[in-house]
């Protein structure tokens, strides 16, 4: 930024917040702030809305530049900030009359240097929150102590015909508001275009008023278009994130379904093995019962009663143990049956969800028969038209498809997207922490250069 002083104008810098001027400083003080000699602790980690003013000797605003400036965690101004505010003020378009005639205005909707547009911001012109009114009020208060030189009274305009001397005075209502035209038209019931046509042919004062209204309306239209584009971009981003989340949810459901299918197969196999074990225990118990019965018959006809009784007692004990084992097996099988029923129910629910998701595919077939073309918005590529035949490839790898539209590789596009969404320096120090300094956004993926566009000026020298 040039460090120049002019003899014609005073130069000042105003900080705005909530449509009010809360800090004022001279141009020289602002330059010291940019050079890092001083900092603003109350502005730490904040992107401030700032206005550069050129004020004539009669304390009339002659030019305004609305720009952003980031302050780091220590309240220091961004060292890479480099907006030519004096040149923007010189080349700015026509703006509203703040008391000394139409001003030169540079803002986001009216930027004479296109590549600085994203670094500017649009002033608010809403009733009760008008940034132009706040700026003019601060200039009139003159807290910076400028010496005021009274301008000579303008001479009356002499006309050879019916027009007399005309003097146009500005009051607070001359500053443009977003509802000037709409409000007057709805309240009076007259056609605004017919009224303006009559004004154009009435007097020089009316023609001047008409020209100011036209300029202010053009500025309002540009401001509203920028607000609409920002909202559309945010909505497209939210839609893209929601679509990605839905895709991930579908993949998770499919994975869960596959896992439950595998688990169900394993449980069926275990159930079959348990049934085989149960049948084997029943056969063994039958054999033991037959053996006990044989022993009882032998006990009746043998002389060694004590020995036979001991054997019978042992057999009864073994039979009791087998009965206990059989009861435990029955309990295990009952528990397995309950668990299998629960898992089968969950499997049926998942299969139903899967069928519902698959049925949604029929909608795409109908869209294909109707030759419907899809459109999606992606940063770097803008609004991308997607033919139906490319839908599968677009859904399977959206980033690769968008990268192809941008004429770059998928890896380059993903790195550019990370830079676009979080334009900070990616240099990693030896401790592993990133630099994190804010960077100017590279808006085209094809212009993005790794290890250059994503590094600050200090760390670019390392590569």
Give the mean model confidence (pLDDT) for residues 286-302: 77
Residues 6+ apart with CB under 8 A from 157: 163, 165, 166, 204
Compute the half-sphere exposure of residue 203: CA atoms within 13 Å on the CB side of its CA.
11
Most confident of 142-146, 209-213, 239-243, 332-336: 142-146
> 138-146: long-range contacts (C-beta < 8 A, 24 or more apart)?
138/14, 138/21, 138/24, 139/53, 139/55, 139/59, 139/61, 139/98, 140/59, 142/59, 143/24, 144/10, 144/12, 144/24, 144/25, 144/26, 146/10, 146/55, 146/59
State pLDDT tens for residues 106-125: 999 899 999 999 999 999 88
Compute the Cα dihedral for 170, 175, 179, 182 and give only its sign.
Answer: positive
Compute the half-sphere exposure of residue 319: CA atoms within 13 Å on the CB side of its CA.
15
Burial of 46 (0-12, 13-18, 19+ CB in 10 A): middle
Cα–Cα distance for residue pair 360/348, rounded to 1 Å: 19
More confident residue, 337 or 307: 337
Three-state SS for 187?
A: helix
What local confidence, expressed as pLDDT, does residue 441 receive?
Answer: 83
What local confidence, expressed as pLDDT, does residue 59 receive?
Answer: 93
Cα–Cα distance for residue pair 240/449, rounded to 1 Å: 25
Burial of 389 (0-12, 13-18, 19+ CB in 10 A): exposed
DSSP state of 124: P
Residues 6+ apart with CB under 8 A from 319: 285, 288, 289, 292
Mean pLDDT (the chain, rounded): 79
State pLDDT tens for residues 184-202: 333 333 344 555 555 555 5
> Which of 270-274, 327-331, 371-375 shows the lowest per-residue confidence on average (mean pLDDT)?
371-375
State pLDDT tens for residues 372-430: 777 888 888 888 888 877 777 888 888 888 888 888 888 888 888 888 888 888 888 77
Q: Which residues of 327-366 are buried (b: 16+ CB within 10 A; e: fewer)?
A: eeeeeeeeeeeeeeeebeeebeebeeebeeeeeeeeeeee
336 pLDDT band (50/70/90 cuts)?
confident
DSSP state of 428: B
Cα–Cα distance for residue pair 66/52, rounded to 1 Å: 7
DSSP state of 239: H
CA 74: distance to chain centroid? 26
Cα–Cα distance for residue pair 244/163, rounded to 1 Å: 68
Give the mean model confidence (pLDDT) for residues 41-45: 92
Domain ranges of the chain: 10-141, 398-447
DSSP state of 432: S
Q: Which helix (H) or strand (E) holds 460?
A: helix 457-460
Compute the Cα dihedral for 403, 409, 411, 417 and give only its sign.
Answer: negative
Q: Which residues of 92-122 are buried (b: 16+ CB within 10 A; e: fewer)?
A: bbbbbbbbeebbbbbbbbbbbeeebeebbbb
Cα–Cα distance for residue pair 169/242, rounded to 1 Å: 55
């Amino acid at each position: 930024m040039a460090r120049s002083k002019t003899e014609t104008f005073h130069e000042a810098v105003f900080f705005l917040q909530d449509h009010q001027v809360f800090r004022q400083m001279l141009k020289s003080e602002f330059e010291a702030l940019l050079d890092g000699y001083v900092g603003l602790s109350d502005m730490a980690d904040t992107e401030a809305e700032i206005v550069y003013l050129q004020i004539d000797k009669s304390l009339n605003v002659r030019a305004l530049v609305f720009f952003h400036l980031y302050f780091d965690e220590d309240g220091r101004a961004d060292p890479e900030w480099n907006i030519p505010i004096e040149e923007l003020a010189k080349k700015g378009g026509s703006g509203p009359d703040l008391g000394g005639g139409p001003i030169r205005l540079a803002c986001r909707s009216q930027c004479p240097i296109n590549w600085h547009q994203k670094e500017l911001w649009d002033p608010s012109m809403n009733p009760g929150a008008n940034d132009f009114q706040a700026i003019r009020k601060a200039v009139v208060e003159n807290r910076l102590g400028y010496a005021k030189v009274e301008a000579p009274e303008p001479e009356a305009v002499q006309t050879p015909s019916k027009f007399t001397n005309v003097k146009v005075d500005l009051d607070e209502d001359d500053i443009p508001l977003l509802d000037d035209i709409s409000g007057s038209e709805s309240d009076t019931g007259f056609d605004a275009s017919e009224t303006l046509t009559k004004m154009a042919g009435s007097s020089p004062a009316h023609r001047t008023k008409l020209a100011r209204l036209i300029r202010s309306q053009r500025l309002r239209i540009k401001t509203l278009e920028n607000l609409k584009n920002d909202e559309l971009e945010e909505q497209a981003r939210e839609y893209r994130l929601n679509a990605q989340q839905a895709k991930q949810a579908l993949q998770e459901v499919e994975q869960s379904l596959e896992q439950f299918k595998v688990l169900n197969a394993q449980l069926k196999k275990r159930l079959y093995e348990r049934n085989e074990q149960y049948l084997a225990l029943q056969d063994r118990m039958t054999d033991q019962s037959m053996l006990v019965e044989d022993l009882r018959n032998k006990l009746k006809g043998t002389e060694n009663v004590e020995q036979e009784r001991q054997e019978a007692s042992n057999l009864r004990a073994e039979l009791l143990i087998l009965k206990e084992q059989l009861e435990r097996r029955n309990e295990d099988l009952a528990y397995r049956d309950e668990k299998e029923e629960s898992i089968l129910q969950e499997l049926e629910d998942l299969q139903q969800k899967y069928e519902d998701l698959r049925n949604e595919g029929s909608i795409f077939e109908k869209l294909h028969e109707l030759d419907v073309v899809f459109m999606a918005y992606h940063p770097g590529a803008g609004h991308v038209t997607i033919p139906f035949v490319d839908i599968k490839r677009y859904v399977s790898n959206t980033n690769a498809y968008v990268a192809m539209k941008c004429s770059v590789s998928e890896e380059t596009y993903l790195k550019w997207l990370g830079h676009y969404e979080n334009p900070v320096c990616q240099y990693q120090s030896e401790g592993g922490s990133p630099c994190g300094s804010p960077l100017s956004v590279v808006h085209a993926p094809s212009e993005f250069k790794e290890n250059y566009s994503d590094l600050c000026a200090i760390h670019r020298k390392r590569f």
